[in-house]
Amino acid sequence: DAGVIQSPRHEVTEMGQEVTLRCKPISGHDYLFWYRQTMMRGLELLIYFNNNVPIDDSGMPEDRFSAKMPNASFSTLKIQPSEPRDSAVYFCASSAYRGANVLTFGAGSRLTVL
Amino acid sequence: AQSVTQLGSHVSVSEGALVLLRCNYSSSVPPYLFWYVQYPNQGLQLLLKYTSAATLVKGINGFEAEFKKSETSFHLTKPSAHMSDAAEYFCAVTTGFQKLVFGTGTRLLVSP
């Protein structure tokens, strides 16, 4: 398996633009997580899905953020409109129910909003 | 709610010296505890995990951690540091509902 695949790896955009980050989890994993990493706040869980259904989105900072998982092999995190304070590295991770909470992380998407 | 506290945002050691990274947890129920490592420009990788079996857990790359309930600690150690160990290390806790809470991380610096 190629692991968790995220795209794009780097994104530079201007304030107000829409940003879409993509994630392909490991085949057979039924949990998918979106984390955000910043120097100030560390690693924050934004939202997670189980069997494509959002379970907990309490970490989503505001309505500008939305996440979807239309099928077991694809998820998106969208920011609209983007703001400079959204600049961060966004990680997607997946795990299997029987994996004792072992998350496999993607390489991350580094977002810079100017 | 569960949480972890990592003491020291940076730890510096010489190559060949003992590595000790500290983690204390808070949980109202028996926790599952993890250590992850992050190399520059990469995602996090699992080093080791404690899931209520043996209290001394061995992980990859010669790392190990000991669960001490009386001290609510899960410190990470390695007898002899290698230059390739330089990275950021994260302690994490969950009570079994697939939702990991991470500490703020400790950056390990290894000098020759």
Interval B24-40: pLDDT, tens: 999 888 888 999 999 98
Is the pLDDT confidence value at A100 over 70? no
Using CA atoms of B65, B71, B73, B79 in order, give the dihedral in degrees to the nearest 10: -40
Q: Does B102 reach chain A within 8 Å, measured CB to CB?
A: yes
Closest chain B C-alpha to A7 CA, distance in angstroms: 13
Mean pLDDT of B42-68: 92
Whether B63 and B51 have beta carbons less than 8 Å apart is answered as no
Cβ-based neighbour number of residue B53 at 10 Å = 8
Closest chain A C-alpha to B3 CA, distance in angstroms: 12
Contact B32 A103 (CB under 8 A): no
> ω before A70 within 30° of 0 (cis)?
no
Mean pLDDT of B90-97: 82
Is the pLDDT confidence value at B70 over 60? yes
Sort out which chain B residues have CB atoms less than 8 A from A107's CB and list them. Answer: 41-43
How far is the C-alpha of B33 from the C-alpha of B73, rounded, in Å? 10
B95: its two tokens: 């009570």
Mean per-residue pLDDT over chain B, rounded: 92
Contact A107 B51 (CB under 8 A): no
Mean per-residue pLDDT over chain A, rounded: 93
The confidence score (pLDDT) of residue A41 equals 86
Is the pLDDT confidence value at B85 over 90? yes
Contact A100 B46 (CB under 8 A): no
Q: What is the DSSP string of chain B?
A: --EEEEE-SEEEEETTS-EEEEEEEE-SSPPEEEEEEE-TTS-EEEEEEE-SS-SEEE-GGG-EEEEETTTTEEEEEESS--GGG-EEEEEEEESSSS--EE---EEEEEE-
Name every residue whose Cβ is closer than 8 Å to that of residue B39 and which is 6 or more positions away in sequence: B45, B87
Mean pLDDT of B60-87: 95
pLDDT digits (tens, 9 = 90+) for A38-94: 988 889 999 999 999 999 999 998 899 999 999 999 999 999 999 999 999 999 999
Nearest residue to B103 (alpha-carbon basis) of B42, B34, B16:
B34
> Under an 8 Å CB criterion, which residues of A touch B?
4, 31, 33, 42-43, 45, 48, 50, 56, 91, 93, 95, 97, 100-108
Is the pLDDT confidence value at B96 over 70? no
The confidence score (pLDDT) of residue B58 equals 95
Is the pLDDT confidence value at A15 over 90? yes
Nearest residue to A30 (alpha-carbon basis) of A77, A67, A73:
A73
State whether residue A103 is helix, strand or coil.
coil
